[in-house]
Amino acid sequence: MHMPEDRPILKVRNLRTRFKTDRGIVTAVDGVSFDLYPGETLGIVGESGCGKSVTNKSIIRLLPERVTQYDPDSNISYHGQNLLELSERQMRSIRGNDIGMIFQEPMTALNPVFTVGWQIEEALKYHSKLSSSRRRDKAIEMLRLVEMPNPVKRMDEYPHQLSGGMRQRVVIAMALCCSPEILIADEPTTALDVTIQSQILRLMDDLKKKTGTAIILITHDLGVVAQACDRVIVMYAGQVVETGGVRDIFHRPRHPYTRALLDSMPKPGAAGHQKRLPAIEGMVPSLFDLPVGCRFADRCQRRQPACEAALPELVDPETKSVTRLATGRTTPSVRCFYPLELRQTKERQV
Amino acid sequence: MSNQSAATQSSPPPAEAPAPMVRVQNLVKHFPKRGGILNQVIAKVHAVNDVSFQIRKGQTMGVVGESGCGKSTLGKCVIRLHEPTSGKVFIEGTDIGSISSHALRKIRSRMQMIFQDPNSSLNPRMTVEATLREVIKLHQVVPAGEVDAKINTLMTKVGLRLDDRKKYPHEFSGGQKQRVGIARALAVNPEFIIADEPVSALDVSIQAQVLNLLMDLKEELGLTILFVSHDLKVIDHFCDSMLVMYLGNIMEEMPCEDIHAHAKHPYTRALLASNPVMDPDHRAELTVLEGEVPSPYDPPAGCPFVTRCPIKTARCEQENPPLLDHGNGHRVACWEVKLQ
């Protein structure tokens, strides 16, 4: 894949998202920074509660304003403006137009009482100047683009008449109808069967190549990451713990958490059949009660006394220099005092 | 018991062949769809279509397939949470379809179910202790004086801390809740467990913990398990053999361990190919399955898989292929897979 331009279209810096709750203030996203480049698929992977969805809902500002606080030095820079400072009115023209969204459960993203065609046309009505008949043509064209069978007939059908895979195609068509520069896909295939999942992943990849849209793909599924992403951010308890190219992450993981996650997946093949899986013992710490040191320390097999004393920063695993910002396209970074050495990780076979 | 001799020949009898723990014979389950002004039955969903298989004592059988393939219905019919439309289920030779409700309750204490979502299968108003106590008392597992000790044993066995006895389900994480569900199933000392997607709602790191727990318990207690899941990787890892279902039919039964080498049916092969491999250097080619599962109200004539099959012939559209025995516990329903 070639990169037309090597300047990020989205720069996230020190994103800290806090929620006011009955039990006090909780920091769901704690200092996340990254760049998104045109035409790439950036994967954000982690387990429930790691902050991957909140990160992206912060970008499109879909969190309830009343209970959400962003740190003053948090910055999400898109075409020179800080998205965190825009009014709801300004955000509305960015959502859909410049940044499209796909969510996990297509049924909740679609309105059950309107036809598929009506819903795609509605997006065009707000974000384009097309006449109503042109809008219908464009909507049919979008359904054709997402390889919907019988696009003309489907225009007049309601969401309940479609299967899960077809609904997700409609949602993708809606998200892409204004040719957004960025597409945020939050667990887009989690609710789908595997054969349909592979269809949708292939479709997203085809569309990315055709339109050059940059994709942020949020998922808990490492298999999906390996199949679909160019770069990967691994999150744990609200923080980035490792970033790198997809090959770095899968073949040369440096953070003990990344490595443990990969190892704990059951793999087809005779080698590990009916053997105990190398599980990660314990649980993710509560965001209300975070340790002083490394957040993964109590589950980590490489834990040393230093890990519990202070929180490691994101560093370049080779030079150990602080990268702090998990930015740039190529530099890997890891939040660990004792990252896995390259020779240790080389033994990892997928 | 007379049916014992009619055991299918799907697996070669070992030296001293133990009686199958579970034998399912021509099981059919149709759900009626009602409609119209008279609320008459206007269609039938063929959820499970003439399914036969057996599980030997101590074996783990996986059932894998996509949503709507009938895998959960099959599990519920085996334990008689659904009444089958026709066909028989034998638990150690006893036909559980023909016994009285009293006898059924007795036999239920030998078979238990673990559900997918512990949030909906645990009573939110009952503590762990109360949940377990209820089951133990109902089935009179131990004398009244030993109930507390039994609760402690169970909680230790599934890896729960004893000081969590008084906690309610909402105070636990997803993985812990599933442990409570497993403890409840084990409370009656069952021999046979049906696990319906037991790890699907859990995070990756927790999924491995619960799979390990089930594996240990199986070894320790010699459990026979029917493991229902949509995840081929999990089934392949955990089970001795698996059934691949599609639209209520068994397409293939085969030993696990090396599914890449075993899988013969085009649907099984497609499932394998669609499963995302955790290796960025081996990205899936474009050989994914086109189209979607047909409606179970209106399954295709002939082979159920014919609408999506990459190797179909004219015959496949006319006749449903029988599930043929290929030896070594391998059965395949496909006209194009030849007996060797």
Asked which of A135-139, A153-157, B19-23, B124-128 is least confident by mean pLDDT, the reply is: B19-23
Q: Which domains does chain A have, with CATH numbers?
A: 6-36+50-89+231-266+275-350 (3.40.50.300)
CB proximity list for A150: less than 8 A, separation 6 or greater: none
Q: What local confidence, expressed as pLDDT, does residue B286 receive?
A: 53
Residue A231 has pLDDT above 60, yes or no: yes
Minimal Cβ distance to A273: which of B66, B257, B271 = B257
- More reliable by pLDDT, A329 or B297: B297
Cβ atoms of A139 and A169 closer than 8 Å: no
Say yes or no for a CB contact (<8 Å) between B66 and A279: no
Closest residue of chain A to B269, computed from CA coordinates: A195
Q: What local confidence, expressed as pLDDT, does residue A350 receive?
A: 46
At residue A88's C-alpha, the angle toward residues A85 and A89, to 5°, is 115
Residue A289 in tokens: 């009660």
Mean pLDDT score, A265-284: 84
Average pLDDT across chain A, whole number: 89
Q: What local confidence, expressed as pLDDT, does residue A2 receive?
A: 44
- Cα separation, A336 vs A303, in Å, equals 10
Say yes or no for a CB contact (<8 Å) between B205 and A47: yes
Q: What local confidence, expressed as pLDDT, does residue A67 receive?
A: 95
Residue B287 has pLDDT above 60, yes or no: no
Say yes or no for a CB contact (<8 Å) between B278 and A267: yes
- Cα separation, B299 vs B211, in Å, equals 35
Residue % of chain B over a pLDDT of 70: 94
Mean pLDDT score, A273-302: 91
Asked which of A67-76, B9-18, B165-174 is least confident by mean pLDDT, the reply is: B9-18
Residue A64 has pLDDT above 90, yes or no: yes
Say yes or no for a CB contact (<8 Å) between A47 and B257: no
A146-185 pLDDT, tens digit each: 888 889 999 999 999 988 888 999 999 999 888 899 999 9
Mean pLDDT score, A51-67: 94
Cβ atoms of A70 and A84 closer than 8 Å: yes
Mean pLDDT score, B273-296: 80
Contacts of B207 in chain A (CB under 8 A): 264
Q: What local confidence, expressed as pLDDT, does residue B188 receive?
A: 93
- Cα separation, A101 vs A314, in Å, equals 29
Mean pLDDT score, A33-42: 92
Residue A61 has pLDDT above 60, yes or no: yes
Average pLDDT across chain B, whole number: 88
Closest residue of chain B to A224, computed from CA coordinates: B276
- Cα separation, B306 vs B260, in Å, equals 22
Closest residue of chain A to B273, computed from CA coordinates: A195
The alpha helices in chain A, defined as continuous H runs, are 52-59, 88-94, 106-109, 116-127, 132-145, 151-154, 164-176, 194-211, 222-228, 246-251, 256-263, 305-309, 342-346
Residue A277 in tokens: 């899986």
Minimal Cβ distance to B203: which of A220, A260, A267 = A220
Cβ atoms of A216 and A36 closer than 8 Å: yes
Residue % of chain B over a pLDDT of 90: 62
- At B242, is the pLDDT very low, low, confident or very high (cuts 50, 70, 90)? very high
Closest residue of chain B to A50, computed from CA coordinates: B203
Minimal Cβ distance to A198: which of B212, B240, B274 = B274
Minimal Cβ distance to A250: which of B208, B278, B286 = B278
Closest CA to B115 of B192, B191, B228: B228
Quote the ipTM score: 0.85
Residue A342 has pLDDT above 70, yes or no: yes
Query: What are the DSSP calls for A259-282, one per residue?
Result: HHHHHTS--SSSTTTTSPP----S
- At B109, is the pLDDT very low, low, confident or very high (cuts 50, 70, 90)? confident
